[in-house]
Amino acid sequence: MVLKHKKNPLIFQGKKKEKEYFEGWYFKHVSCDLKNIIGIIPGISKNDANPHAFIQIIISKEFDGKTLNTQYYKFSTDDFKYIDEPFCLTIGNNIFTDEGIELNLKNDEYLITGSIKFSEFTKINRNILSPDAMGYFSYLPFMECYHDIISMDHNLKGVISVNSEVIDFNEGKGYIEKDWGTSFPKEYIWLQSNHFDDTDASIMFSLAHIPFLGASFQGFICNLSLNGHEYRFATYNNSKIVKINYSGSLLELVIVKGGYELLVNSVICRDSGSLKAPINGAMNIIIKEGLTGSADIRLLKNSKILFEGRGNPCAIEVMMKD
């Protein structure tokens, strides 16, 4: 059972978890013209006070970032149903699989319906020592939050209707990741983009405060997929962040591993949406996510440039103390 869940992290991980547990999938969709972005987060919150299933939506309907909205649709835990193989998650009349999604959501503000099909996923490399994005840390049973990447990049086919406005996602791009555990990190940085001009590139970076055996440390993962090749920088493979500078709307990173050096300079969009996040399984904290930032990337090997490009749009979350 453990090996099956390691081999297919998309499936539900919390079958034996009864309280102080959360699990959420993050499906991001960007239209071909880059004008419309929809992030969809189905999940479940297990706690004594307010157990429920949910679907969160974050929408940027224009690329200028001025029309970003979020919605939280709450469901009974009885509405949360899943099948491992083939993977299928249903919450109410909403369906999530490895082949696509179908939405039927309604509240007082938003009616969201439609379906999107996925092409083949661009998956991350996995082996016995690094079964997922967290490397060997994923084997430890006491981690506060587990994180994995399902697809660095895939193509989209379909449309979503938001209050009768049809948004075309045909020939757009998608990205999928997930988190599960007890709580989100109290401090973290996350960014992701798979929109680089004239190249098949995708990047995800995450830095987080990690409680560990009574102490804590800052752990990070950075996965760069470039024309079919993966470059992984992480705490568990002897990579180092030698520079990190966060100031207002700017984020600067320099990461090294062996002869490789990765430079990331990001501009964080001013407009951000409020999303609920878990603490002890309950969705009681608020995080901020922007969908329309940018990230300039440079990858070098022994001082020779292997890749330069700008990821635009770039989703960014910065939850750090000043």
For 110, phi then psi, to 5°, come to: -130, 135
Give how far the C-alpha of residue 284 lies from the chain's centroid of Cα atoms, to the nearest Å: 19
Answer for the pair 202, 229: CB distance below 8 angstroms, yes or no: no
Sequence-distant (≥ 6) Cβ neighbours of residue 224 within 8 angstroms = 201, 202, 203, 230, 231, 232, 233, 262, 297, 299
Mean residue pLDDT of the chain comes to 94
The residue extents of the domains of the chain are 2-319
Query: Is there a cis peptide before residue 313, judged by omega within 30 degrees of 0?
Result: yes
Q: Which fold has domain 2-319?
A: AttH-like fold (2.40.370)
Q: What percent of the chain clears pLDDT 90, i.e. is strictly above it?
A: 88
Sequence-distant (≥ 6) Cβ neighbours of residue 265 within 8 angstroms = 250, 251, 252, 253, 295, 296
Answer for the pair 247, 265: CB distance below 8 angstroms, yes or no: no
Q: How far apart are CA 107 and CA 268, in angstroms?
A: 30
pLDDT digits (tens, 9 = 90+) for 105-152: 999 999 999 999 999 999 999 999 899 999 999 999 999 999 999 999
Give the helix ranges, DSSP H, for 121-256. Answer: none
pLDDT at residue 169, as a whole number:
98
What are 228's two structure tokens?
């079919």
pLDDT digits (tens, 9 = 90+) for 53-76: 999 999 997 644 446 899 999 999
Q: What is the value of pTM for the model shown?
A: 0.96
pLDDT at residue 6, as a whole number:
66
Q: How far apart are CA 127 and CA 117, in angstroms?
A: 28
